[in-house]
Amino acid sequence: METTLTNLLDLDPAQLIDYCAQLGEKPFRAKQLQRWIHQFGADDFDNMTDLAKSLREKLKTRAHVTAPAVISDHTSTDGTRKWLVDVGNGNAVETVFIPEENRGTLCISTQAGCAVNCRFCSTGKQGFNRNLTVAEIIGQLWMAEFELRRTKGIEPGPKGERQITNVVMMGMGEPLLNYEPTATALKLMLDDNAYGLSRRRVTLSTSGVVPMIDKLSQDVPVALAVSLHASNDELRNGLVPLNKKYPLAELLAACKRYLEFAPRDFITFEYCMLDGFNDSDEHARELVALVNHPVTGINCKFNLIPFNPFPESGLTRSKNPRIKAFAEVLMNAGIVTTIRKTRGDDIDAACGQLAGEVQDRTRVQARMEKMAEYQQKFGADFGKIVEIRS
């Protein structure tokens, strides 16, 4: 009978110890193995030279280290790099690296498609295909870190300069609707024998799955960003259907509970700026009242996001003066507010938007032509990635 091979990228630190125990190995072997995989980027057991030869021989017949295959790899003139990675059955997701002077941020996807169906998000309009596995989530970080090192000629291992200092779960999908694989991947990101990232430097973005926010606070509380996008329930119901199940009062209460365990003393609220829909001064004042309420208020900062238009939404981007005026209302109330800026314009690096179209790789050319058609119709900024400020 053929043995099913275990992908070791699927295992968090505790699971890898258990796996090694099943092979008759002691816990320190799991730590050695984990370092080879996640610190050196090794996928060949013969190269793991401090493992006993007997263990290496066992692993060759029972395990493998395999990240999702890269379909395309593009680098912008500003250094933004986008990979389109294959997650099987014609599905692909985007992984985007955004370099800055003092940090490198990687944007990771957790699902192929998305079931939340927010009105302003083109990924949701393309439907939900499936949850990604742990190997497909952490594999994006594994692939990107060591590909960036190879590109720059930096050696793998803890002595080499780390390229990815920050991770944001802001790509395709709702992370908290794929909870267990996402939490397992987060544990690997934080583990000192893997990537050793600070909890402050890993941010999970959610549309507001209240029970899972509470669970995350107990299991692996990283920095939290919440897709708010509206100042009252009526408005948010039309933008984020999940709000009908978990309205603003419940969401803010969950955020407040989360802060007791969070690595930062604030929640980031993401707010997509939609012309004539949620961008008036009155909406801004409503937000101020919401987050500064003496009882239910919460310590937060706002990240205002210029909308990337797409035809099915029926929405358009707020004008820059309107965005700035909106931000001033928030800032005058003492709320830290940032406006996201565009990056990677020349490589069409749209977080989730383009990747969600790639259902059948034999039709990539046709879909690229459709993207060009949309850009001609709706402007050159259609489908462009925006910088993540976390």
Binding site residues for S-adenosyl-L-methionine, as ranges?
173-174, 205, 227-229, 308
Radius of gyration for the chain, computed over Cα atoms and rounded to the nearest angstrom? 21
Reply yes or no on whether the pLDDT at 385 is more than 50.
Answer: no
- Interior angle at CA 196, CA 97 and CA 96, nearest 5: 10
Reply yes or no on whether the pLDDT at 360 is more than 50.
Answer: no
pLDDT at 362: 34
Reply yes or no on whether the pLDDT at 388 is more than 50.
Answer: no
Query: Quick one: which H or E segment has residue 248?
Result: helix 248-258
389 in any annotated domain: no
Average pLDDT over residues 69-94: 90
Average pLDDT over residues 50-71: 94
Least confident segment among 290-299, 314-323, 347-356: 347-356
What percent of the chain is predicted at pLDDT more than 90?
Answer: 69
Sign of CA dihedral 108, 114, 119, 125: positive
385 in any annotated domain: no
Q: How many CA atoms lie within 13 A of 239 on its CB side?
A: 23
87 & 60 share domain: no
CA dist., res. 341 & res. 100, Å (int): 13
Last residue of one domain, picked from the residues 19, 38, 64 = 64
Tell me the C-alpha to C-alpha distance, in Å, between residue 1 and each of 4, 8, 62, 75: 9, 21, 13, 45
pLDDT at 311: 74
Binding site residues, as ranges?
114, 118, 121, 173-174, 205, 227-229, 308
175 & 218 share domain: yes
Catalytic residues: 94, 351
Q: How many CA atoms lie within 13 A of 371 on its CB side?
A: 22
The beta strands (E) that lie in 22-64 are given as 63-64
> 63-64 and 6-7: which strand pairing?
parallel
pLDDT at 59: 96
Q: Which residue has the tokens 């400020």?
A: 389
Binding site residues for [4Fe-4S] cluster, as ranges?
114, 118, 121
108 & 171 share domain: yes
Tell me the C-alpha to C-alpha distance, in Å, between residue 208 and each of 241, 243, 336: 10, 8, 21
364 in any annotated domain: yes
Reply yes or no on whether the pLDDT at 354 is more than 70.
Answer: no
37 & 124 share domain: no
Reply yes or no on whether the pLDDT at 179 is more than 70.
Answer: yes
CA dist., res. 361 & res. 366, Å (int): 10
50 & 185 share domain: no
Q: Identify whether the C-beta of residue 146 lies closer than 8 Å to the C-beta of residue 160.
A: no
Reply yes or no on whether the pLDDT at 244 is more than 90.
Answer: yes
pLDDT at 34: 96
pLDDT in tens, 279-291: 999 999 999 999 9
CB atoms near residue 370 (< 10 Å): 12
Tell which wins on pLDDT, 361 or 321: 321
Average pLDDT over residues 128-148: 95
138 & 110 share domain: yes
pLDDT in tens, 323-337: 999 999 999 999 999
Confidence (pTM): 0.86
38 & 101 share domain: no
Q: Which residue has the tokens 């395990």?
A: 63
14 & 102 share domain: no
Domain that holds residue 186: 69-378
Q: Identify whether the C-beta of residue 280 lies closer than 8 Å to the C-beta of residue 239.
A: no
Last residue of one domain, picked from the residues 18, 44, 64 = 64
Closest CA to 359 of 117, 89, 68, 137: 89
Q: What's the domain count of the chain? A: 2
CA dist., res. 113 & res. 93, Å (int): 8
pLDDT at 370: 58
pLDDT in tens, 94-133: 999 999 888 999 999 999 888 787 877 766 667 778 899 9
Last residue of one domain, picked from the residues 64, 80, 111 = 64
Backbone angles phi, psi at 345, to 5 degrees: -60, -35
pLDDT at 353: 46
What confidence category does residue 90 fall into, taking pLDDT thresholds of 50, 70 and 90? confident
59 & 73 share domain: no
Q: How many CA atoms lie within 13 A of 173 on its CB side?
A: 31
Q: Identify whether the C-beta of residue 76 lies closer than 8 Å to the C-beta of residue 138.
A: no
**Any idea what the CATH number is for the domain that residue 19 is in?**
1.10.150.530
Reply yes or no on whether the pLDDT at 15 is more than 60.
Answer: yes
19 & 83 share domain: no
